[in-house]
C-alpha cells in the first residue's frame, strides 16, 4: 500500500468514526428507561369527577404537568396498591420535582368507588395523586381511547364480585401528548430510579 493509499484509508476510518459517534449521539438522545410510546396514542382527553374536591375536571386542568394515567379500583388487593406504591416511591425519588407530576387514578368500578371512597384511597399515596370517577359512558370512552380493557361482574348466585382491568401506566408530557408506558415498574423489582429519571427528564421539557 502506497503512502497516499494509507492516508486515504486512515481518513476514511476517521470519517466513519465521526459518523458512528454522531449516530450514537442521536440515538442516545431518545433513549428511555421505560417504553417510548411517542405518537402511538391520542393526546390526553377526558371529562370526569375528581375525588379530592368533587369538581368536574378535564385534561386541560392538568396541562403543564407530566401526567401518569392508571386504571384500577380501590378494593383491588394486588396490582393497584403495588403499582400506586411504586409510583409513590418514584415521586419520592424525584424529590423537589414531584410537584411537576400528577398521577390520575381512574376507577373502573364506579358503582362501589364513590368520590368519598376514592378520596380516602388517594390520600394513602400522596398529594400528587388524583382519583377520578366517571359515568359509565365517560369511563368507556377513556378506556377505549387508550386501549384499556376492564370488566365488572357483580356478585350473583353465590359467585363473588369480580373486577378485571389492564395494569399499564401511561405517561403524558406537559403538552398532553403520549410519551411513555412505564414497563419498568412491572414485576417484583420495579426500576424506581430509572423511572424517576424518565419523569424528571419529561418535567424538564417546558
Query: What is the C-alpha to C-alpha distance for residues 170 and 31, in angstroms, rounded to an integer?
Result: 17
Give the three cell numbers for residue 147. 386501549
Q: What angle is formed at CA 145 by the lines to CA 140 and CA 151, rounded to 5 degrees? A: 35
DSSP 8: H
Supply the pLDDT for residue 157. 82
Buried/exposed 171-183: b ≥16 CB within 10 Å, e otherwise: bbbbebebbbbbb
Burial of 152 (0-12, 13-18, 19+ CB in 10 A): middle
Supply the pLDDT for residue 206. 67
| 206 residues of the chain, pLDDT tens digit each | 444 444 444 444 334 443 334 433 433 456 999 999 999 999 999 999 999 999 999 999 999 999 999 999 999 998 999 999 999 999 999 999 999 999 999 999 999 999 999 999 999 999 999 999 999 999 999 999 999 999 999 888 888 899 999 889 999 999 999 999 999 998 889 999 999 999 999 999 86
Supply the pLDDT for residue 25. 40
Supply the pLDDT for residue 115. 99
Give the three cell numbers for residue 100. 411537576
**Cα 167 from chain centroid?**
11
Supply the pLDDT for residue 172. 99
User: Rounded to 5 degrees, what are φ and ψ at 177?
Assistant: -90, 145
Supply the pLDDT for residue 187. 82
Amino acid at each position: 500500500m502506497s503512502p497516499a493509499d494509507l492516508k486515504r484509508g486512515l481518513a476514511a476510518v476517521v470519517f466513519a468514526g465521526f459518523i458512528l459517534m454522531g449516530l450514537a449521539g442521536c440515538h442516545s438522545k431518545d433513549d428511555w428507561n421505560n417504553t417510548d410510546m411517542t405518537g402511538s396514542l391520542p393526546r390526553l382527553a377526558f371529562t370526569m369527577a375528581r375525588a379530592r374536591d368533587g369538581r368536574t375536571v378535564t385534561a386541560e386542568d392538568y396541562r403543564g404537568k407530566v401526567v401518569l394515567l392508571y386504571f384500577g379500583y380501590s378494593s383491588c388487593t394486588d396490582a393497584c396498591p403495588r403499582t400506586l406504591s411504586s409510583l409513590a416511591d418514584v415521586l419520592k425519588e424525584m424529590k423537589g420535582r414531584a410537584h411537576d407530576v400528577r398521577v390520575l387514578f381512574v376507577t373502573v368500578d364506579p358503582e362501589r368507588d364513590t368520590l368519598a371512597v376514592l378520596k380516602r384511597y388517594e390520600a394513602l399515596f400522596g398529594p400528587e395523586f388524583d382519583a377520578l370517577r366517571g359515568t359509565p359512558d365517560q369511563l368507556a370512552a377513556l378506556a377505549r381511547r387508550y386501549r384499556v380493557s376492564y370488566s365488572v361482574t357483580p356478585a350473583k348466585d353465590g359467585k363473588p364480585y369480580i373486577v378485571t382491568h389492564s395494569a399499564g401506566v401511561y405517561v403524558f408530557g406537559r403538552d398532553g401528548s403520549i410519551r411513555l408506558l412505564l414497563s419498568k415498574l412491572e414485576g417484583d423489582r420495579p426500576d424506581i430510579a430509572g423511572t424517576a429519571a424518565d419523569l424528571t427528564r419529561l418535567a424538564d421539557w417546558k
